[in-house]
Amino acid sequence: MNEMDWHLLEDRTKLDFVEVEGVKVSTGSRVRLRPRKGGDIFDLALAGQVAIIESLEEDYEGRRHVAVVLEDDPGRDLGMLRQPGHRFFFSPDEIETLPQEQQ
């Protein structure tokens, strides 16, 4: 991989917000995880969990991704530092907004 390829990997588009159920969510928003059926073991384990959005990104094909850390993860600070195992990715249609009173 040459130097230009590395720059392409680092130049992900950061988003200010994504719309979920007609509501704008952004970094720091609390959401409930609702992974699609047919996922992997992590999807089963994370379904229904409350998470905090760490970042919103768009890939080179225009797909939007929501990076989250679990609210009750004792290693949540590691996820905020982008360490593996404490940060998970979902599409906007796999999260649901929480009512204002739960935030």
**pLDDT tens string for the chain (103 positions)?**
556 665 555 566 678 888 888 889 999 999 999 998 877 888 889 999 999 999 998 888 888 999 999 999 887 888 788 877 788 999 999 999 997 655 4
Domain boundaries, the chain: 3-102
Class of domain 3-102: mainly beta
Report the predicted TM-score, pTM, of the whole model to 2 decimal places.
0.79
Q: 33-41: long-range contacts (C-beta < 8 A, 24 or more apart)?
A: 33/68, 33/88, 33/90, 33/94, 33/95, 34/94, 34/95, 34/96, 35/90, 35/94, 36/93, 36/94
